[in-house]
């Protein structure tokens, strides 16, 4: 039995299973099929399932008269690409933008509208590269970030609106943003011209796609040949040393327009970043009224938590590739670590006695590279401070860093507190545990 013999209700059910692209093709066969495909509820279903659209809008965000018209415009804009990949890229951006709209609208407003095919082709022509298919679609949806007019006048504030975010240790502040195509072109040109840089070759075509907006530089390069994303180490200009940011085994079919399985490092990287934001694995941190996305992990197993006598200590680390020296035997890898300490609402409790405050006096750290102890620190204070904790106050947070000769290691130890204040102790000093937390070269580098 052919489709012509199927009743209208059954035919409509079949169309919902075909999807938008095949339904549009079916409409061209005869008047009856065309009439069945005029049903607006059918196209609202396709727009929702394929593109996550709950109202009829075009790729630029403008309202159009119907869901059918909207679907047609999306097909015209992205029909040259594998449709499953288009849907996947849109889901990636939708997740990120949904989180930003709720939690960090200032960053959401910095995301530019999508680039045109002509703008992408101009970049490809200038550098004689072919962008991986997924990266092309990513830029078609969002052409990086632009901070002009999107933030208060303070340049320091603008510098912390990077979509990827970062960390700070002492005076080393990193905040990574996505470059718009115009900046990809200008910044890549500048690096290519640097006399000491040997990383670009005719075989491996690199472009700069993300960087830190602060004085502490951090660069992410897309290899347009194999689709991998690389981050520069401290030896970039001398030795061209870079590290992959995504597991290479996951990258496939980066230039194949006929495959439904394309995924390059840029797409995998942004998808993973979106997952971490939505799950709370990384969060916004506020320092002196300036907010930024912080890359220090907030959830186990990468963040440890211990509570001793009412004192809670959380600890985690992040790899700092820009300070790594792969040519060094003793300081090959550099890790920043963040320690957050607070006093629970019930206060400090020692042998059943409650105290309304306690103050740090001493610290003891054991730092390991693999399983070997490479440093055993016993000293006063933390970064020259003696934090005084009160119940219910914000965490006292400090950062430091450690170099390792290996890609994995750990830190554990304890703090010595006194109940009350150091100047007026209310009892004997007590040890507060810091659970072991990892220092490790991650699968995904941000």
Longest distance between any two alpha carbons in the chain, whole Å? 92
For residue 308, list its beta bridge partners: 311
Before 301, cis peptide (omega within 30)?
A: yes
109, 150 Cβ separation under 8 angstroms: yes
pLDDT of residue 153: 47
> Is 241 within 8 Å of 251 (Cβ atoms)?
no
Tokens of 442: 């991650």
8-state DSSP, 417: E
Confidence of residue 23 (pLDDT cuts 50, 70, 90): confident
Choice between 240 and 154, residue whose per-residue pLDDT is larger: 240
pLDDT value at residue 206: 94
Q: Mean pLDDT in the chain?
A: 91
The pLDDT of residue 1 is 47
Higher local confidence (pLDDT), 236 or 310: 310
pTM over 0.85: yes
Q: For 86-142, what is each residue's pLDDT tens digit?
A: 999 999 999 999 999 999 999 999 999 999 999 999 999 999 999 999 999 999 999
What is each CA distance from 179 to 188, 243, 430, in whole angstroms? Answer: 11, 20, 50
Best CA proximity match to 262, nearest among 221, 223, 226, 209: 226
State how far the Cα of 166 lies from the Cα of 177, in Å rounded to an integer. 9
Length of the chain in residues, anyone?
446
Mean pLDDT on 271-295: 94
Is residue 4's pLDDT more than 70?
Answer: no
How close are the terminal C-alpha atoms of the chain, in Å?
Answer: 56
Give, in order, the Cα–Cα distances in Å from 420 to each of 160, 175, 386.
37, 38, 13
């Amino acid at each position: 039995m052919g489709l012509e013999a199927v009743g209208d209700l059954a035919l409509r059910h079949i169309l919902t299973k075909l999807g938008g692209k095949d339904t549009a093709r079916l409409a061209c066969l005869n008047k009856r099929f065309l009439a069945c495909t005029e049903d607006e509820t059918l196209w609202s279903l396709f727009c929702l399932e394929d593109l996550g659209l709950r109202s009829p809008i075009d790729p630029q965000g403008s309202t159009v008269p119907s869901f059918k018209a909207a679907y047609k415009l999306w097909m015209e804009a992205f029909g040259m690409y594998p449709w499953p990949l288009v849907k996947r890229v849109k889901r990636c951006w939708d997740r990120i933008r949904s989180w930003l709209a709720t939690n960090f609208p200032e960053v959401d407003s910095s995301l530019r509208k999508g680039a045109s095919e002509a703008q992408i082709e101009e970049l490809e022509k200038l550098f004689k590269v072919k962008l991986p298919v997924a990266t092309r679609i990513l830029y078609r949806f969002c052409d990086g970030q632009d901070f002009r007019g999107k933030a208060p006048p303070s340049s320091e504030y603008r510098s912390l609106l990077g979509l990827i975010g970062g960390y700070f240790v002492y005076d080393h502040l990193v905040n990574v943003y996505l470059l718009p195509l115009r900046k990809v072109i200008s910044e890549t040109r500048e690096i290519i011209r640097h006399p000491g840089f040997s990383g670009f070759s005719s075989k491996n075509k690199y472009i700069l796609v993300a960087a830190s907006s602060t004085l502490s530089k951090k660069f992410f390069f897309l290899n347009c040949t194999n689709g991998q994303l690389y981050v520069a180490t401290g030896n970039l200009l001398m030795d061209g040393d870079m590290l992959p940011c995504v597991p290479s085994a996951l990258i496939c079919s980066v230039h194949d327009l006929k495959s439904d399985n394309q995924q390059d490092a840029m797409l995998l990287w942004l998808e993973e970043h979106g997952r971490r934001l939505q799950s709370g694995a990384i969060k916004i941190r506020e320092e002196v009224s300036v907010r930024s996305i912080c890359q220090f992990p907030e959830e186990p197993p990468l963040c440890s938590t211990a509570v001793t006598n009412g004192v809670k200590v959380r600890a985690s680390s992040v790899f700092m590739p820009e300070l790594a020296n792969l040519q060094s035997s003793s300081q090959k890898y550099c890790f920043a670590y963040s320690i957050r300490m607070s006093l629970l609402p019930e206060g400090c409790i020692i042998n059943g006695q409650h105290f309304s405050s306690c103050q740090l006096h001493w610290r003891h750290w054991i730092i390991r590279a693999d399983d070997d102890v490479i440093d055993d620190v016993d000293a006063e204070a933390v970064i020259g401070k003696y934090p005084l904790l009160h119940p219910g106050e914000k965490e006292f947070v400090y950062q430091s860093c450690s170099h390792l000769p290996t890609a994995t290691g750990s830190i554990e130890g304890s703090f010595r507190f006194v109940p009350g204040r150091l100047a007026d102790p209310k009892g004997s000093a007590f040890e507060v545990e810091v659970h072991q937390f990892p220092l490790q070269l991650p699968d995904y580098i941000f």
